[in-house]
Amino acid sequence: MEGKVALVLGVANRWSIGHAIAKAFVREGAEVILTYQGDRQKQTVEELASEIKARQVLPCDVTEDAQVDALASMLANELKSRDTALNAVVHSIAFANREDLSRPFVETSRAGFALAQDVSAYSLVAVARATAPLMAAPGHDGAPGGGSIMTLTYLGSTRVVENYNVMGVAKASLEASVRYLAAGLGPSNIRVNAISAGAVKTTSARGIRDFSKMLEGGAKLAPLRRATDPVEVADTAVFLASDLGRGVTGNIIYVDAGMQIMGFALTE
């Protein structure tokens, strides 16, 4: 990823999947720009950025169109001043009300449903629309231009995972958005994919009732008989962001120790 510039949205702390991805990008030679949601998170994200040697930290609450647009113009100025383009965008963001991740799905309120969709699915569309123009146009010299946009999803989009509820529906919408975005942006050589990660203990994950049972159960059932390491998710993000992933778009890539192939097991 030497010489590439990547934007990573969704680093809250050192346990965030986005943090592992940003670290891996820097390890592979990329320049990384992080975002934070609000002033509450500013200092933490700035400290993490300096630790992992990210280049810049910018504000962005993805539910506010004005903030998404402001992020794009700050990035545009920065990229222009250095005569470069954006190569990769990582959308590692999700949110749902805590009560919607514990009570029966049928109890989901209209507002809770809309909130989960807005933050966890629509925001990918908003971010893609704002950042795609910052990626390089195809060059006269035959350079393909374009870039790579990716998001994080979970098995609860296609299977019922107890308590994942409204977030599973939002992830189904997110995955469909990946396909439509990939089709729309493909002619500009912009690839759009999702990584479906196995359960990882993060702040968001702790909001799901009985998450530790989900983590332990998954580790027992998965073909590799272990939980997912965020570093392996990050390595797949490197693949997608780099030229190695140049033929891959519109895909959901599972990095979950094989969990998604399993039905149920007869052994303890």
* Residues at the interface with ligand NAP (CB under 6 A): 10-12, 16-18, 37, 41, 60-63, 92-95, 119, 152-154, 197, 199-200, 202-205
Closer CB to ligand NAP, 154 or 189, in the complex = 154
φ, ψ (nearest 5 deg) of residue 24: -65, -40
Task: Examine the residue annotation and report whether 180 is marked as an active-site residue of this protein.
Answer: no
Closer CB to ligand NAP, 136 or 252, in the complex = 252
* Residue 135: closest CA among 100, 180, 89, 177: 89
User: Closest distance between ligand NAP and the C-beta of residue 114, in Å?
Assistant: 13
CA distance 141 to 196: 36
Closer CB to ligand NAP, 193 or 204, in the complex = 204
Task: Examine the residue annotation and report whether 164 is marked as an active-site residue of this protein.
Answer: yes
Closer CB to ligand NAP, 92 or 108, in the complex = 92
Indicate the residue whose CB is closest to ligand NAP.
16
Positions marked active-site:
154, 164
